[in-house]
Amino acid sequence: MADPKQQQRDAFRAADPAGGPLTTDQGVVVDHTDDSLRAGDRGPTLMEDFHFREKITRFDHERIPERVVHARGAGAYGYFEPYASCAEFTKAAFLQDPSVRTPVFVRFSTVQGPRGSADTVRDVRGFATKFYTSEGNYDLVGNNFPVFFIQDGIKFPDFVHAVKPEPHNEIPTGASAHDTLWDFVSLQPETLHTIMWLMSDRAIPRSYRMMQGFGVHTFRFVNAEGRGTFVKFHWKPKLGVHSLVWDEAQETQGRDPDFNRRDLWDTIEAGDFPEWELGVQLVPEEDEHSFDFDLLDATKIIPEELVPVRPIGRMVLDRNPDNFFAETEQVAFHTANVVPGIDFTNDPLLQARNFSYLDTQLIRLGGPNFAQIPINRPVAPVRTNQRDGYHQGKIHRGTNYSPNSLGGGCPAVATGDPAAYRHLMERVDGAKVRRRSPSFDDHYTQPALFWHSMADWEKRHIVDAFRFELGKVAAKEVRARTVEQLALVDHELATAVAEGIGVTPPQQRADTPRPTPSPALSIANNQADTP
Ligand code: HEM
């Protein structure tokens, strides 16, 4: 039997009958669609040809704005099932019963390029999952790197402006190599950890099916007793992590710009369903301050040797969408779409995201009713006092306010009802400040840990990538400043990069952080297969 999301889709499909004669949007049968109505054989086209006007008008309005980031993507449906109950840590219904499959839709994406750009560019990949749970939609909006470029969402517009093509000529596109990005990187050392990942083979996945995913932020699980536990989410692909090498990636861009998208589609069509395991790193609330980094800092990982990843379930993608626009393009993920048992932390990047996604979707999807679009529609019942707005698809009846003694209106359930979402009652106080805790300023220890966890051939690829990308930067001072920053990560790395791009190699500094290589970073070199 089809899962609840598929049943919902089937109902929408039934409302769009295939076959039968062509009609207008008003249901009037059309006799001719190839020639417009004209006055005489050689006369002007007549305004009264309503079918002509409707056909052209509808075509003129087929496009909507692409996503400001992550514009290019590919999606698929599937299901998630937990291995065992996670009740000890979370009351989230979809993490309780191994016999219950929750329908999901996943969209993979590149970040920087526009909708029509190539798949196999050097870039971060989005890995966004919508779980259609019995308690409402839960979105895990992650990437294929466990860290992010900035620590506070207020910098996101600056970062994205630096990453995107330059404003005057919209060059370059599809690659990350240009002066503005490296100018930003050299002036914002908090970017360095993610830049190390970006220069590694992780930034050129061979397939979406062979890519890890990370929630990046520290989130919170909350159990039925109201106890919170910090949690980091990890997706591990059953096929292992595999990358293209740079030359392969470049050639692939020319031969097949849809390489990753096609691979996902074809394998699902062939019944070779991709699978990921969901794992969690759990940190009890009382251990919040036991690390030398801050759990609220999205530029840091929790090393797996300190907190191992526990597998809690698996996800299989087994159906392609019917319509790219209706489903993959109109899907709207939002970090604030959470269900009871999953909560936020005060990570300033996460808090900004919790504002940004709904805000951008209000314009991208044409107003406030986009949760009614089939791909976004929960399978859980929706009863709100929200009304009207562009593209209202429901015929609401009765009054629409609460409290309400006249009938209609939806009351909130009593506080304490286990079905209701209740925010974790975290104590928060403090003066208004714009600073963060001091460990946010350590921008070098974890990039160094990443570098030292690499095999020699992986290091070579990283150096080659830095040389290729920085070698394209025209501003000599930007190249030099970036090398100075790399010298604070590792002298050998900085020297190797400097020698390839005509910059004087840096002096060895006595205080360069040099952590010992750590197996904890197995997430960094896990199963990579490209020598
Ligand atoms: C889109 C991930 C940081 C704003 C996306 C998507 C992903 C993603 C996967 C594509 C969703 C889809 O497939 O439709 C992340 C991760 C971040 C991060 C993992 C950091 C940990 C931010 C920040 C902001 C932001 C800090 C803004 C303050 C956006 C916007 C979109 C987007 C506006 C387009 C959404 C849409 O049009 O539907 N992000 N992002 N992101 N992200 Fe982020």
User: Tens digits of per-residue pLDDT, 37-51?
Assistant: 999 999 999 999 999
DSSP type of residue 206: S
Amino acid 511: pLDDT: 62
**Bridge partners, residue 314, by sequence:** 81, 277
Query: Which ranges in 406-513 belong to alpha helices (H)?
Result: 445-452, 456-470, 476-489, 491-500
**Strand, helix or coil at 80?**
strand
Query: Which ranges in 453-490 belong to alpha helices (H)?
Result: 456-470, 476-489
Contact 444, 513 (CB under 8 A): yes
Residue 526, pLDDT > 50, answer no
Residue 2, pLDDT > 90, answer no
Q: In the structure, what pLDDT confidence band is assigned to residue 174 with cuts at 50, 70 and 90?
A: very low
Give just the sign of the alpha carbon dihedral 34, 40, 44, 49.
negative
Amino acid 510: pLDDT: 63
Decide: 298 in ligand 1 pocket, CB within 6 A: yes
- Residue 309's contacts (CB-CB under 8 Å, 6 or more residues apart) are 234, 236, 279, 280, 281
34-41 LR contacts (CB < 8 Å, sep 24+): none
**Strand, helix or coil at 107?**
strand
Residue 17, pLDDT > 80, answer no
Can 461 be counted among the known catalytic residues?
Answer: no
| Residue from 51, 137, 143, 334 carrying the catalytic annotation | 143
- Residue 305's contacts (CB-CB under 8 Å, 6 or more residues apart) are 518, 519, 520
Residue 232, pLDDT > 90, answer yes
Q: In the structure, what pLDDT confidence band is assigned to residue 514 with cuts at 50, 70 and 90?
A: very low
Distance from the alpha carbon of residue 102 to the mean position of ligand 1, in angstroms: 23
Can 70 be counted among the known catalytic residues?
Answer: yes
Q: In the structure, what pLDDT confidence band is assigned to residue 143 with cuts at 50, 70 and 90?
A: very high
Distance from the alpha carbon of residue 424 to the mean position of ligand 1, in angstroms: 24
Decide: 175 in ligand 1 pocket, CB within 6 A: no
Percentage of the residues of the chain whose pLDDT score is greater than 70: 95
| Residue from 70, 234, 334, 443 carrying the catalytic annotation | 70
- Residue 408's contacts (CB-CB under 8 Å, 6 or more residues apart) are 397, 398, 399, 400
Residue 294, pLDDT > 80, answer yes
**Strand, helix or coil at 110?**
strand
> Parallel, antiparallel, or unpaired for β 310-319 and 73-82?
antiparallel
Residue 138, pLDDT > 50, answer yes
The atom of ligand 1 lying closest to the CA of 128 is 9
Amino acid 513: pLDDT: 52
Amino acid 512: pLDDT: 57
Q: In the structure, what pLDDT confidence band is assigned to residue 386 with cuts at 50, 70 and 90?
A: very high
Residue 318, pLDDT > 70, answer yes
Q: Over range 367-371, report the average pLDDT.
A: 98
Amino acid 508: pLDDT: 81
Q: In the structure, what pLDDT confidence band is assigned to residue 175 with cuts at 50, 70 and 90?
A: very low
Distance from the alpha carbon of residue 113 to the mean position of ligand 1, in angstroms: 14
Amino acid 172: pLDDT: 66
Cα–Cα distance, 120 to 205 (Å, whole number):
7
The atom of ligand 1 lying closest to the CA of 143 is 19
Residue 483, pLDDT > 60, answer yes
What is the pTM for the complete model shown?
Answer: 0.95
Residue 176, pLDDT > 80, answer no
Q: How much is the mean pLDDT over the chain?
A: 93
Choose among 313, 349, 374, 362: nearest CA to 143.
349
Task: Give the range among 85-99, 155-169, 220-234 with minimum mean pLDDT.
Answer: 155-169
Residue 256, pLDDT > 80, answer yes
Residue 13, pLDDT > 50, answer yes
